[in-house]
Structure 1
Amino acid sequence: MAIILTSLNYKGGVGKTKNTTLNAYEVAKKGYKCLVVDLDPQSNATTVLIRTKQAHDPDNVFSFDKTLMTAVREESLENLAVPIIENLDLLPSYIDFANYSTFLDKRFGVVEEGDPDYHEITKQKITYFNQLLTPLKEQYDYIFIDVPPTKSYLTDSAVMASNYILIVLQTQELSYDGAVQVLEDLRKLAIEFNADFEICGVLPVLMDSNATLDQFVLANAAEIFGEENIFTNKIPNMARLKRFDNTGIIENDRHDKRVIELYDKVSSELIERINFFEKGETNDE
């Protein structure tokens, strides 16, 4: 049965999608069967991973048979997954996935907060994607979900499907505020809708590791989330990360390999943290 992980922050541009795709890429290289589910209509994770597929297999011409939104309307996500590299598949998103909330409203109805049916109908909406995902859970070891950087049915649906939440924290005030808001919303989902997940950690993305603001934000995060929940491995400001948006994830030169070596460590720590909750033991990798 797959372990399902969603990376969250309500502030855009903090590296959430990069960390989702790179962690999935590295966990797949460790021999685990992985799936990335792109629930963001901007489809940035899809773009990066399709470019990764093309970079690793340039002779293979790729085209979509159907979009994720089409599969949702057909009530089945099976046979949608696109192989990217060995052990790594993708459920690709497209701009039409912006219609997902409208789809839920049409399927389950529209109710205002305070309506007697509000809680039950909202729960049906935010657990529906997990029902669609369930048949795929036996096929993978890890499922990574990428979501938009905003509170919505999409993010709530991802949380309700997840076993673990990774909070991505860029060391600036707005990202910190976004992470704190995520924490509040996670508490509400756990209390009001019985969401069953663990926060496996906070992954810092440093603006400038020597800057006073970075250290200030990290200190505040440690106070709010707990020092033990802050990842030991932190993501420095690396220009090559931005290049992967254009090239896909590649390992062609020393700059690429420096990023890959870092995410090898980050993904190992991620697995170790998850194993702590799963089995009460650490990973020796």
Structure 2
Amino acid sequence: MPAPAVDLAIVGAGHVARALGRLFHASGTCEVRGVLARSAASAQAGVDFIGAGLACATYDELPVAQLYLLAVTDDQIVPACAALAASRPLAGAVVVHCSGALASGALEAARQAGAHVASAHPIRSFADPAAVAASFAGTFCGIEGDAGALAVVVPALEAIGARPVAIDPAAKTVYHAAAVFASNYLVTVLDAALRAYVAAGIPEDVARELARPLAQESLDNVFRLGAAPALSGPVARGDFVTVHRQQEAVAGWDADTGALYAALVPPTAALAARKRS
């Protein structure tokens, strides 16, 4: 016999709330009872996307549930949790937030009210919630929190195809920084490469084609071999005469990009040392 559906109430009606709400509802794991947003129109739009629940504009309107999902911005998690705890008894309930940067300790108001708390961070871009909901299977989710909360959250995530990965709550900010390095700062470094090609007289569309095989092969090698074995280039060879010449040339072209180049030399040299060891 399948486990009975868990009553779910969602605070937030943005992309994450909509995608996860639709997934939980469609899987039959959760019965979405209500969606709370800052406006009735936003809440109704969330309910329409999810396909279930009551649109709510106040905490008093939000139905009582076994599981509360706080899918709000990081700066709203603490006040949202406090408002939820003030609006109803939470003893025995589960409260979970979706932030990648904050640990479950941000839900202290709910914990003090007797709830079990956790964080569950899907490692995806939610720019298109419909596309995420259609292709969520296999998505990794960083999880941490109380055992009582994880006993509910982990099966619910697995039912929608997620791959939960336990993380250390004390290192939650470093965990989130890992995603920034792997995604945001990677784009910044590639932008520097493209601008440097353009500065050398190469049209931007051609520059992208020049950079593509280098970047793609490097990524493939990192994930196939590991970072140290994938490293190549002048620092890996110990050719610091070339490195110094490039650094001066880049700084002369653009001071900020030159500073970025200089900042990358020491960690790249350390990586090269690991490669040789």
The structure with more helix, counted as a fraction of residues: 2
- TM-score, with structure 2 as normaliser: 0.38
Greater relative CO, 1 or 2 (CA 8 Å, sep 6+): 1
- TM-score, with structure 1 as normaliser: 0.37
- When Rg is computed on C-alpha atoms for both structures, the one with the higher figure is 2
